[in-house]
Amino acid sequence: MTAVRRVGVLGARGKVGAEVVRAVEEADDLELVASLDAGDALEELVSAGAEAVVDFTHPDAVMDSLRFCAEHGIHAVVGTTGFDDERLATLRGWLGDDPGAGVLIAPNFSIGAVLMMRFAAAAAPFYESVEIVELHHPTKADAPSGTARRTAELVAAARREAGLGPVPDATSTGLDGARGADVAGVHVHSVRARGLVAHQEVLLGGVGETLTIRHDSMDRASFTPGVLAGLRWIADHPGLTVGLEHVLDLD
């Protein structure tokens, strides 16, 4: 097993980047060698001897950084958003047929959120009913959350593949909105209350029993174990990988 030791952080002065900086500093097997933010020269990564970078920056900046990394054989663990098929194809081109560097891009670095989604999809074929309740602080602008939508889509796909029809629901009278939002046939409910941080519950129901998978994120720092797991995995996995589930070996 090859292991990255020297790490550079891009976006180091942002809220998320600052958490990454702290997590890398606290990890015994990693060393923080560069902390860059907008305006800093990427060449510093080379002079500092960075073997890998963590990039939580901006869609406008990330492609330039990744091209630089690919050219210099620096691995990248990327939480920046905005990757579409075109960008991914471009990345693959830069990495080439015999990539010297690995790039891991993940929309969600929370290990718990990824496990919740995978378990929900794995259990879905065995249950007649499934419903999602996500709970967040009241300053969140979107409802349902992106994680809830993604979970619903994964669960709906697993149900289709297993040949399951629509969930049973005899509701014939009621108030608008009571049964939540419909995402690919899965009912999703969004609770917003002061004191909450970020929580989600997937409830699967069959005759006489329910199975509930719940993820509670109480702290912004909860994504850092996923980033560290990515750093420890990337040197052995050259080329482009999308999704933390590959790091968690859940396939």
Residue pair 187/132 in contact by the 8 Å Cβ criterion: yes
Among 27, 196, 235, 242, binds a copy of itself (CB under 8 A): 196
15 is in an annotated binding site: yes
Rounded to 5 degrees, what are φ and ψ at 192?
Answer: -130, 120
| Known catalytic membership, residue 58 | no
Kindly determine how many residues on this chain lie close enough to bind a copy of itself according to the rule CB under 8 A.
76
Among 184, 229, 235, 242, binds a copy of itself (CB under 8 A): 229
Residues 6+ apart with CB under 8 A from 177: none
Among 189, 234, 240, 241, binds a copy of itself (CB under 8 A): 189
Q: Which window, 51-59, 62-70, 100-108, 190-198, contacts a copy of itself (CB under 8 A)? A: 190-198
- Minimum separation from the CB atom of position 249 to a copy of itself (A): 9
User: What residues numbered 61-120 form the site for a copy of itself, per CB under 8 A?
Assistant: 110-112, 115-116, 119
Amino acid at position 177, single letter: G
Indicate the residue among 75 and 189 with the shorter CB distance to a copy of itself. 189
Say whether residue 3 binds a copy of itself (CB under 8 A): no
The span from the CA of 126 to the CA of 152, in Å, is 16
Q: Burial letters for 16-52: b for 16+ Cβ neighbours within 10 Å, e otherwise?
A: bbbbbbebbeeeeebbbbbbbeeeeebeebbebebbb
Say whether residue 184 binds a copy of itself (CB under 8 A): no
* Strand, coil or helix: 159: helix
| Known catalytic membership, residue 75 | no
Token duo for residue 21: 């900086």
For 100, half-sphere exposure in the C-beta direction (CA atoms, 13 angstrom radius) is 9
Residue carrying structure tokens 């939540």: 180
Site string for a copy of itself, 121-160 (x = CB under 8 A): -xx--xxxxxx-x-x--xxxxxxx----------------
Among 217, 235, 237, 245, binds a copy of itself (CB under 8 A): 217
Amino acid at position 94, single letter: W
Tell me the sheet residues that pair with 93: none
Say whether residue 39 binds a copy of itself (CB under 8 A): no
Residues in binding site for (S)-2,3,4,5-tetrahydrodipicolinate: 137, 146-147
Residues in binding site for NAD(+): 11-16, 37, 79-81, 106-109
Residues serving a catalytic function are: 136, 140
